A and B are shown apart, each in its own frame.
Chain A
Amino acid sequence: MRGALSTYGFLSAKLKARISKTLPPDAMERLIRARSLPEAVQFLKGTEYAAIEEAYAATGDLRSGEALLLERELELYTGLFRYLDEPVLSFVRALALRFEVDKIKNAVRLWFDSVIRGRNVDGKSGYLHRATIVHAFDVDAVILAPDADAVVAAFGSTPYAAIARSEMPRVVSGRSVFPFELALDRYYYAEAFAAAAKLGRKNREVAERVLGVDVDMQNVSWLVRFRGFYGMDADTAAGLLIPRGRAIDAAALKTAGSLDQGSPGYAGSLGLELLRSAYGQFGVLLGSGSGGDAVARLSLMEGALRQIARAEAGRSLAGYPFSIGVVLAYFTLRAEELRAVMTILNAKEYALPEERIRSSL
């Protein structure tokens, strides 16, 4: 069996070198303060996000840059596979499923808009990633499927076929992709936790801690949306949450009390309480009150969880370098940074004011 040094040495060096290229805080500030989209994009020249500037200068389309960047990021992940042995390989492959799951969500949304809602989606699939990430399937066959059965067939022998077979009838009857997307999320986390369970004790603990924060982030948004936007009854809502969150999952909700005590606002307050109890040391990020509307609470909780995720990443980077923590830190920091950069640029495209951009970061 390989030791920690040989397993994580190269990985740690490669990813830490890339982490060192993250944008400094003043670069984000400059992006936010840019007066127009072309000026904001210009700031990315010479940074890790130069691909956005290159593609934007050639096409005028922000999405083309984002797609190019995603392409390069995926190359990095899939490129890592050949340097890894089990069980770390399985874990990194499981993490890469996040990209695949997002790709499937986008494809099925296009199919749903076109076939079920009868909306015009032409030209919208241009930037979908078409190469194989982990499982091979034809993404165009999904988008062009004439019906739900064809969507299932398009997934071939991948695990997504079974998910589609079980959820597509509900997607069609309920006229919502939500059950399918939730099932995909549950699949992703089940795979990630299963792969994490095969790691050594210390690495497993780190992996489960970081994945737990991620699950909380998903569950927080679902929790408020289930009640606020889908009007779901309490038991159904609790049953749909993704398991193994550090603070929020069905079991935690059961212990904390019923969701039936009213409105989506109550769901938000309950979420806050659960988060406070699970993240005692970060409680200050969540504030002390429970007031405000559901959207405000959701945004508060999401923001706090993002900071917690960043803090976890910082903890992993500052600690023992030959562990899975560095990989997870890279995933977290890179995803967060990409999200922030694209949020700012999209906001610039729609000429949103600076304050609104800051509040959404």
Chain B
Amino acid sequence: MMFTSPMRLLAAVALDTDSDAIATELLKLGALELVSIKDLSGEWTSKTTKVEPRVSLARLGELRKRAEGFMGMARPPIPRPIINGDTLVGRVDLDAAEKRLDAMAAEVNGLRERQKSLQDEILKLDEILRQIEAFGDLKTGAAAASSFSFLSIRAGLLQADKIDDLTRALDGVPSVVLPSGDASGVERAVVLVSLKRDAVRIDPVLDRVGWQDARLPESSGESKDEALRTLNAKIDTLRSRQNACAAELADYFSDNGAGLGELWATLRAEELVARVRSSFSRTDRTVLFSGWIPAERVAAVETGIRSAASGGCSIEWLGPGQGDAASIQAPVEMRNPAVLKPFEGLVRNYATPAYGSVDPTPFVAVAYLAMFGLMFGDAGHGLVVALVGVIGTLLARKRGTADGLYRLMIYCGAAAIVAGVMFGSYFGLPLLPPLWFDYHGIVSGHGGSGAFKSVYDILGLTIRFGMVVLGVGLLINWVNLWRKRDWFTLILDKAGLVGGWIYGAGAWVAFYYVGHDYRELPSGSLLAVVLGLPTLLLAFKAPLEFIRHNKGSGKRFKPGLLVDFFMEWIVEILEIYSGYLANTLSFMRVAGLGIAHVSLMTAFFQIARMITPTGPLSLPAVLVLILGNVLVIALEGLSAGIQSLRLNYYEFFSKYFNGTGRAYRPVSFNGTE
């Protein structure tokens, strides 16, 4: 956890006949990051060829993606099963899989076609609807329809018992049958609205039911409303049938979901095994493979490979930079407990640390939460943030999506709760006395006591906090350089011992000056020792670097280089003094955000009191307070989160972080692509 995991490079030879079993075992173990044998230095690459996959990787991949596509069509999508390499590999019949997927495609296509034909009906009814709506009444419509519209509006007389026959016969033809007049009569007036083009289908039906043309009834205005109602009802029915098709599809997937999942798992397992095996190199009868493995898993991997190869293999382990591994960069595994994973994500988001260096995750966790708490110190607001984080985490887990951000919110909320209790702030109200100091009181100008009496004391606190953070950064840098045996940089770099000396001495001088009411500095001789001496030592950096880099290269010293050395020294001094000053003062933003948080809450309380000057707060005043709290939580929460990240990335990381690492990505059955 303190440092990135030590890695070992595996270089192995086994019989080709065991290659499938070995590839399967490696995927099951999920510990090997493959390295091409060709990348190794030494004799490994001679007389080896590429291993050709036994099945087409492209076809396997295509079929697997098709299966994934169908799994995604289900509502909710069918989850990808956990692959167990023990039972699945070697069973795939690509032709059969393809046939199965084709059958699935045909089923889906058929249902979509049915939905589409229903949609065509809906569109036609929509058109009738639009036209009828455009007419004042059906009489006007009939007149218009007779001349140019593609709508046909007809009135007629029909035996009452034939109306149902007519309605049934016209099922599937975009039309509306509207009976009117006395419902108990033997013969009833009927208005039929349809599309002209369907006359060929409708006329024989009308003949069959004994339709007699008649004049449109006087109550055509009502008929129009009735027609619209009927049409809307028909459209709703068609939409329900479309939904039924979608439900049928859902049922189809729920019936076939398990089989589809199993097919996907089989294809995926086969594809992975083929892919791993094709990354091996081969001779006539043997395969050679290589890859990085965390040192602590070496024994398990060796046992697994030997078991898969039934003992018929030769295995060699190399450390980074040793022998044939000299030319390959070791990957970086950051091994942190689950509780720190969201912070590991923040580190990865910036870059992967160099191999073998200090893993900054635990330090980032502490620094980030401390900064957030100081900027967003309110127990009530923290509780809201934490609750949002809990809900988000639960929802993300249910959906199977990443929950890192929500977990981070839980931690930030908890940090804000702790800080809120320390400052005695609960939704901006002093419900309980503060355990540390009254932030609200100090910002409002009436609550200071002890060491914290004004906002300047809060600013001072954050500056000290910043110095601790930067100091820790320097310490981590020294540890990293010590482990790398980079003594020169350790001593003379601006983030090395001399740089740290200047920073520490500078801070001491600054506090001395402030402690003496801005009137007195330490004595000149003391300043010469604590600041002058390390500054002078920096003057040797450029010449020493010149000697180190040009030793044996034949490059000669020229007097003009003295000017270069001098200029480099001056620039270095400026960088160190201005850089450290800026880095430290940058932490004043922690106080700034915290003060803004308190000020905003104070402003909302004042607005609420302007609405209700005395007595209990009125409803509008309470609403202002609720809205104010929501606004502060959203805006300040976001600002505090971003500023904490910024301070970590640009002030803390700049002291020690070397982001030249390459993330460790082992192959496994259930890993990411």
Q: Which residues of A does B touch, CB under 8 Å?
A: 30, 33-39, 42-43, 45, 56-61, 64, 114-115, 120-127, 140, 144-147, 150
Q: Is the CB of B131 within 8 A of A144?
A: yes
Instruction: Return A81 CB to nearest CB of chain B, in Å.
Output: 28
Q: Is the CB of B116 within 8 A of A38?
A: no
Q: Is the CB of A45 within 8 A of B112?
A: no
Contacts of A146 in B (CB 8 A): 147-148
Q: Is the CB of A123 within 8 A of B127?
A: yes
Specify which of A33, A39, A145 is in contact with B105 (CB 8 Å cutoff). Answer: A39
Specify which of A36, A59, A124 is in contact with B119 (CB 8 Å cutoff). Answer: A59
Q: Is the CB of B246 within 8 A of A57?
A: yes
Are A60 and B113 CB-contacts (below 8 A) given A43-B69, A120-B197?
yes
Inter-chain CA distance A58–B105, complex, in Å, is 17
Contacts of A34 in B (CB 8 A): 69
Are A125 and B148 CB-contacts (below 8 A) given A35-B105, A58-B246?
no
Q: Is the CB of A122 within 8 A of B112?
A: no
Q: Is the CB of B130 within 8 A of A140?
A: yes
Instruction: Return A301 CB to nearest CB of chain B, in Å.
Output: 34
B 160-180 binary contact with A (CB < 8 Å = 1; else 0) = 000000000000001000000
Contacts of B242 in A (CB 8 A): 58-60
Inter-chain CA distance A125–B134, complex, in Å, is 15
Contacts of A115 in B (CB 8 A): 148
9 closest residue pairs by CB, A with B: A60-B115, A146-B148, A126-B123, A60-B116, A60-B112, A123-B124, A120-B197, A123-B123, A36-B105
Contacts of A59 in B (CB 8 A): 115-116, 118-119, 242
Which of A61, A124, A150 is packed against the most chain B CB atoms within 10 Å? A61
Q: Is the CB of B109 within 8 A of A37?
A: yes
B149 interfacial by beta-carbon distance below 8 Å: yes
B403 interfacial by beta-carbon distance below 8 Å: no
Instruction: Return A2 CB to nearest CB of chain B, in Å.
Output: 28
Inter-chain CA distance A57–B119, complex, in Å, is 12
Mind listing 24 A-B residue pairs with CB under 8 Å? Answer: A34-B69, A35-B66, A35-B105, A36-B105, A37-B112, A38-B73, A38-B109, A39-B70, A42-B69, A42-B72, A42-B73, A45-B72, A58-B242, A58-B246, A59-B118, A60-B112, A60-B115, A61-B115, A61-B116, A115-B148, A120-B150, A126-B122, A144-B131, A145-B148
Chain B residue with the shortest CB-CB distance to A126: B123
Instruction: Return A74 CB to nearest CB of chain B, in Å.
Output: 20
Inter-chain CA distance A145–B147, complex, in Å, is 10
Q: Which residues of B does A touch, CB under 8 Å?
A: 62, 65-66, 69-70, 72-73, 101-102, 105, 108-109, 111-120, 122-124, 126-127, 130-131, 134, 147-150, 174, 195, 197, 242, 245-246
Contacts of B69 in A (CB 8 A): 34, 39, 42-43
Inter-chain CA distance A340–B115, complex, in Å, is 25
Q: Is the CB of B134 within 8 A of A144?
A: yes
Q: Is the CB of B126 within 8 A of A126?
A: yes
Which of A37, A58, A60, A146 is packed against the most chain B CB atoms within 10 Å? A60
Q: Is the CB of A121 within 8 A of B150?
A: yes
Inter-chain CA distance A126–B117, complex, in Å, is 14
Q: Is the CB of B149 within 8 A of A144?
A: yes
Inter-chain CA distance A36–B110, complex, in Å, is 11
Q: Is the CB of B123 within 8 A of A36?
A: no
Contacts of B131 in A (CB 8 A): 140, 144
Chain A residue with the shortest CB-CB distance to B65: A30
Contacts of A145 in B (CB 8 A): 148
Q: Give me 18 other A-B pairs in contact (C-beta within 8 A), A42-B69, A60-B115, A115-B148 excluded.
A: A36-B109, A37-B109, A38-B109, A38-B112, A39-B70, A42-B72, A56-B112, A57-B246, A59-B118, A60-B242, A64-B119, A120-B197, A122-B150, A125-B127, A126-B122, A126-B127, A140-B130, A146-B148
Chain B residue with the shortest CB-CB distance to A62: B116
Instruction: Return B73 CB to nearest CB of chain A, in Å.
Output: 6
Inter-chain CA distance A145–B144, complex, in Å, is 10
Instruction: Return B340 CB to nearest CB of chain A, in Å.
Output: 30
Instruction: Return B109 CB to nearest CB of chain A, in Å.
Output: 6
Specify which of A39, A120, A126 is in contact with B66 (CB 8 Å cutoff). Answer: A39
Contacts of B134 in A (CB 8 A): 140, 144
Contacts of B113 in A (CB 8 A): 60
Instruction: Return A44 CB to nearest CB of chain B, in Å.
Output: 11
Instruction: Return A131 CB to nearest CB of chain B, in Å.
Output: 14
Inter-chain CA distance A243–B259, complex, in Å, is 62
Specify which of B108, B120, B124, B148 is in contact with A144 (CB 8 Å cutoff). Answer: B148
Inter-chain CA distance A30–B124, complex, in Å, is 34
